[in-house]
Amino acid sequence: MTGMLPADTPRELILKSSDTTNPDYGFTSLENLPIEYLLENGVIVLDKPSGPTSHEVATWVRKILEVERVGHGGTLDPGVTGILPTGVGNATKAMQALLPAGKEYVCVLELHHDAPETEIRRVIGEFVGKLYQKPPLRSSVKRVLRVREVYYNEILEIKRRLVLFRVGCQAGTYIRKLCYDIGEALGVGGHMRELRRTRVGSFREDEHMCSLYDLKDAFMFWKEDGDETELRKYILPIEFGLGHLPVMNIRDSAVDAICHGADLAASGVVSLSSNMKKGDMVVLKTLKGEAVAVATCDDTSDRIIKTKSGIVAKIDRVLMERGRYPSLWKKKST
């Protein structure tokens, strides 16, 4: 059985107070958002091909969709394939929120000499938990020693000197360095021969993934024939990219204040995820499920449930445009 990423942390929704949402404001359903809106607020589970850089792929997506802004969440080396989470328009703001979600890869490790299968399994099983890593020479970041966590290693197949395994790890983990270290621990040497990213938080390889060709065809079907069926499969609401985060659901009256930069007060919270800690990244949502902002939790779930005043979340990045909900907070302050 495959292990768990931080995005899989089980959480319950705790009710703090009761309230209803006005159907006249916002989107009542995230399933039938206008395509034009998705092209400014959508995320794509893109299957990056081997060869181009992640930046080049993002540029191609921008040209394919004829939009001004496209950003990706988590760089893949040119030779690596797999999930490249991509934000379109306003959704580029949400890409940074993928950092705590965890990532999963399937890797081919090539050993330089023969080693007993039992020893291979034993050694790879030891590379779980917090590991010290120094980025490889070809890395684009400063080569300083740092700690990264490997959540699980699962060997899928061993064929002579080739080892196929699945690894779940913290963002910023270098799988190339992991393969090198495994080879050194076995005493035979080794290197990463092939790598594919199969998951980033809520983005999974077997759900909604599309290639650049798929995306181009889907866009042309919509542009030329008005058929938006395929495009809807691939451009998902921004909320999809935030599904790994704990949530605070807020009142209609608090939405526009947050869109103008206000932090979230306890009185604005209707319900929230359990097991949240101070400092956790959270997503603030309307009672219809629309993402309003990404914030930093300022207390624990248990304490927020009981408190009646004060700031409970500090805004990091506003995702919703101003004016979707009325400025009810201004009326209260006058």
Contacts of 81 (CB under 8 A, 6+ apart): 47, 48, 49, 50, 195, 196, 197
Which value, in Å, is the radius of gyration of the alpha carbons in the chain?
A: 22
| Adjacent-strand bridge partners of 155 | 165
Q: What is the pLDDT, as a whole number, of residue 1?
A: 46
pLDDT on residue 289: 96
pLDDT recorded at residue 141: 58
**What tokens does 65 get?**
């969709």
Determine the pLDDT at residue 333: 45
Residues pairing with 264 in the sheet: 313
Cα 9 from Cα 197, distance rounded (Å): 20
Structure tokens at 159: 């064929």
Give pTM, 2 decimals.
0.91
Q: How far apart are CA 239 and CA 242, in angstroms?
A: 5
Give per-residue burial for 152-166: e unless 16+ CB within 10 Å, then b: bbbeeebeebebbbb
Please tell me the CATH code under which domain 10-28+245-333 is placed.
Answer: 2.30.130.10
Active-site residue flag, 8: no
pLDDT of residue 146: 84
Whether the Cβ atoms of residue 285 and residue 248 lie closer than 8 Å to each other? yes
- Contact between 61 and 70 under an 8 Å Cβ cutoff? The reply is yes
CATH 2.30.130.10-classified regions of the chain: 10-28+245-333
Domain with CATH 3.30.70.3190 in the chain: 103-200
Give the CATH class of 103-200.
alpha beta
Instruction: Give the 3-state secondary structure of residue 334.
Output: coil
pLDDT tens track, the chain, 334 positions: 468 999 998 999 999 999 999 999 999 999 889 999 999 999 999 999 999 999 999 999 999 999 999 999 888 999 999 999 999 999 999 999 998 899 999 999 999 999 999 999 999 999 999 998 876 666 555 667 889 999 999 999 999 999 999 999 999 899 999 999 999 999 999 999 999 999 999 899 988 899 999 999 999 999 999 999 999 999 999 999 999 999 999 999 999 999 999 999 999 999 999 999 999 999 999 999 999 999 999 999 999 999 999 999 999 999 999 999 998 755 554 4
Residue 55, Cβ neighbours under 10 Å: how many?
11
Contacting residues for 278 by C-beta, under 8 A, at least 6 apart: 297, 298, 299, 300
The whole-number pLDDT of residue 215 equals: 97
Instruction: Report which of 212, 176, 174, 206 is spatially closest to residue 194, judged by C-alpha positions.
Output: 176
76: enclosing H helix or E strand: none
Contacts of 44 (CB under 8 A, 6+ apart): 61, 85, 86, 87, 88, 210, 215, 234, 235, 236
Secondary structure tally for the chain: helices H, strands E: 9, 17
Structure token pair of residue 233: 């499969």
Q: Residue 101 and residue 228: Cα distance in Å, rounded?
A: 30
Choose among 45, 47, 90: nearest CA to 67: 90
Kindly compute the dihedral angle of the four CA atoms of residues 224, 209, 102, 31, in this order, to the nearest 10 degrees. Answer: 60
Residue 36's pLDDT is: 95
| Given 8, 47, 77, 263, the catalytic residue | 77
